Structure 1
Amino acid sequence: MGEVVLQKAKELFFTYGLKSISMDDLAKQAGVSKKTIYQAVADKQELVGKVVDDLIQCHQATLTTSCTSSANAIEEVINLSCVPFDTLAAININFFYELEKFFPVEWKKLIAHKQKTMQPTIIKNLERGMAEGLYREDLNSAFTAAIRLQQISTALNPSDFNEKKMDTRQLMNDLTLFYLHSITTTKGKRIFTKYLNLNNENKSIQA
């Protein structure tokens, strides 16, 4: 499929959801004929599949970059709560609702990504943090990872957490602070505080 068509499909689906965007809408917005689109995909289902595959690949790439560029486990958590999270947070929540309801095969791909990539990434970070002496040794990695995944899901859909309108990014920041406070050792808290103070200083400079 042409990169222009795929990018336009992502833009429209992520902004308006899946059901409200027809193949006619896509053809018009991409500046191609509907026939051209159907030469690349058999139907909307296949198109959605390609969009989901691309989303997973992009998210996987940001996860890998965030992990490999981190000096320690705490920095890794902070990095993981930025670009990888923002990749998903930028998507209209209706996209995920409609994907689960109307495109179950593609929805299962996201669930598999969560279980086979996101959860192991968190567990690996927990093991790294314990080895570095930054996280408590008594942590149950699987249980703690499950809690962290739930935090991410909550931040992506703040209305499930609180009836009041909340900023997704701020909620993710608050949940990350809560998470790190609960798992770090005294040594970890000192390092965590340094990152927190540096972040506050940067905000002051930007202001």
Structure 2
Amino acid sequence: MQFGLRSVTMDDIARKNGVSKKTIYQFFRDKSAIIQNTIKGHFENHKKSIIEAVNNTENAVQALFQISLCMKKQTETVNPTLIYDLQKYYPKAYKKVIEFKQEFMQDLLISILYQGIKEGLFRKEINVEILAILRIEEVQLAFDNIFPRDRFDFKTVHVQMFDHFIHGILTEKGREQYNFYVNHEQKA
């Protein structure tokens, strides 16, 4: 997560874990297997934290706000080269990223957007499928080096993108709720 995948060697992994490379090879056939296993575990944990955050919400605005907080926390530790390395050198592992986005996140966002329309918090004329995909791709966009980390704080980029997205779908009632959560978070 910190250095990207290409630059980390099996020697680095062994040293960091205080074991020999021989020990690692008893459990994993190669670096690719370690990466696949790690990515799978990472997204299982990420799903759990998002589901837990969403399950403890009062409404759709709070659910999106909590997902945004989870994503912000998650992205703070990720080196953008990680995604590039996965795409280029570890396509099987990158497939887990795609599955997470296209299956889990898209379905969850669609469900929350419909909930928000029902609650009168989101505009009824929005196309929930398009906006779910848009939100997922906004997060991806931040990793695509359009906002280089030497010029932009990644957390600020994420907050700005989410704020822009959410204001485009809120009703006045939803805006009141959103402002409440933002103000409450800033005091915490």
Calculate the TM-score normalised by the size of structure 2.
Answer: 0.92
1:132 counterpart residue number: 119
2:140 counterpart residue number: 153
Provide the C-alpha distance between the structure 2 equivalents of 1:88 and 1:59, rounded to a whole number of angstroms: 11
How many matched pairs? Answer: 188
Q: Would the alpha carbon gap of residues 59 and 85 (structure 1) be closer, same or farther in structure 2, given more than 3 Å must change?
A: farther
Provide the C-alpha distance between the structure 2 equivalents of 1:108 and 1:195, rounded to a whole number of angstroms: 34
Matched, 1:106 2:76: no
1:62 counterpart residue number: 49
Matched AA of 2:128: S
Matched, 1:94 2:76: no
Matched AA of 1:80: I
The answer to whether the 8 Å contact 1:155/1:169 transfers is no
Q: Would the alpha carbon gap of residues 121 and 85 (structure 1) be closer, same or farther in structure 2, given more than 3 Å must change?
A: farther
Does 109-118 or 145-154 show the bigger shift? 145-154
Bigger relative CO (Cα 8 Å, ≥ 6 apart): 2
The answer to whether the 8 Å contact 2:83/2:143 transfers is no
Runs of at least 4 residues of structure 1 off by over 4 A? 161-164
Matched AA of 1:117: F
Matched AA of 1:20: S
Question: Shift of the alpha carbon at 1:42?
Answer: 0.9
Provide the C-alpha distance between the structure 1 equivalents of 2:154 and 2:112, rounded to a whole number of angstroms: 23
Q: Per-residue displacement from partner, 1:113-137 (whole Å, max 9, x unpaired)?
A: 1100011111111011011110011
Q: Which of 162, 165, 170 matches 1:184?
A: 170
Q: Would the alpha carbon gap of residues 140 and 172 (structure 1) be closer, same or farther in structure 2, given more than 3 Å must change?
A: same
Q: Would the alpha carbon gap of residues 88 and 193 (structure 1) be closer, same or farther in structure 2, given more than 3 Å must change?
A: closer
Calculate the TM-score normalised by the size of structure 1.
Answer: 0.84
State the identity %. 29
Q: Per-residue displacement from partner, 1:152-186 (whole Å, max 9, x unpaired)?
A: 123344x4147971111112111221112110112
Runs of 5+ consecutive residues of structure 1 not aligned to the other structure? 1-13
Q: Would the alpha carbon gap of residues 114 and 30 (structure 1) be closer, same or farther in structure 2, given more than 3 Å must change?
A: same
**RMSD between aligned alpha carbons?**
1.8
**What SS is found at the alignment partner of 1:137?**
coil
1:195 counterpart residue number: 181
1:170 counterpart residue number: 156
Does 161-170 or 182-191 show the bigger shift? 161-170
Question: Shift of the alpha carbon at 1:29?
Answer: 1.9
Q: Would the alpha carbon gap of residues 66 and 56 (structure 1) be closer, same or farther in structure 2, given more than 3 Å must change?
A: same
Q: Would the alpha carbon gap of residues 89 and 154 (structure 1) be closer, same or farther in structure 2, given more than 3 Å must change?
A: farther
Does 75-84 or 111-120 show the bigger shift? 75-84
Matched AA of 2:90: F
**What SS is found at the alignment partner of 1:20?**
coil
Provide the C-alpha distance between the structure 1 equivalents of 2:149 and 2:185, rounded to a whole number of angstroms: 29
The answer to whether the 8 Å contact 1:135/1:188 transfers is yes
Matched AA of 1:171: V
